[in-house]
Amino acid sequence: MSKFAQGKHAYGISDRSGLRYKYKDMRREWNGLLVGRDEYDPKHPQIGPFRKVVDAQALKDARPDRVEPLQVFVGVQTIENHEAKKLLAFSFVGQVTVTT
């Protein structure tokens, strides 16, 4: 394994501004640029990678929908001889006249 020099007296050129900085004071950004300490810009949290959030698609032990008859009661139910009678309702719409 090779060793690198410590860079006590070395200088580097910033990739962002082109200014000269001491090599030991330079920092590498998340995008690979080597910049001075005062130019360093940390990675913004909204720049990925993001966690994968998976929504559930199915229910465990699902049952089919129940089909029940639709009953509509109009008015009040009457009880005769302990039995409920269903009331029937009839309606109609007469003529409609629209004037401007």
**Residue at 15 is within a domain:** yes
Question: In angstroms, rounded to a whole number, what is the distance separating the alpha carbons of residues 34 and 17?
Answer: 10
**Residue at 38 is within a domain:** yes
Host domain of residue 28: 9-42
Task: Quote the tokens at residue 50.
Answer: 């993001």
**Residue at 25 is within a domain:** yes
**Residue at 18 is within a domain:** yes
Amino acid occupying residue 51: R
Q: Reply yes or no on whether the pLDDT at 2 is more than 80.
A: no
For residue range 43-98, list pLDDT tens digits in order: 988 887 778 888 778 788 888 877 777 666 555 555 555 555 565 666 666 776 77
**Residue at 4 is within a domain:** no
**Residue at 60 is within a domain:** no
**Residue at 89 is within a domain:** no
Question: In angstroms, rounded to a whole number, what is the distance separating the alpha carbons of residues 38 and 10?
Answer: 18
What pLDDT sits at residue 13?
94
Q: How many domains does the chain have?
A: 1
- Which element (helix H / strand E) includes 49? none
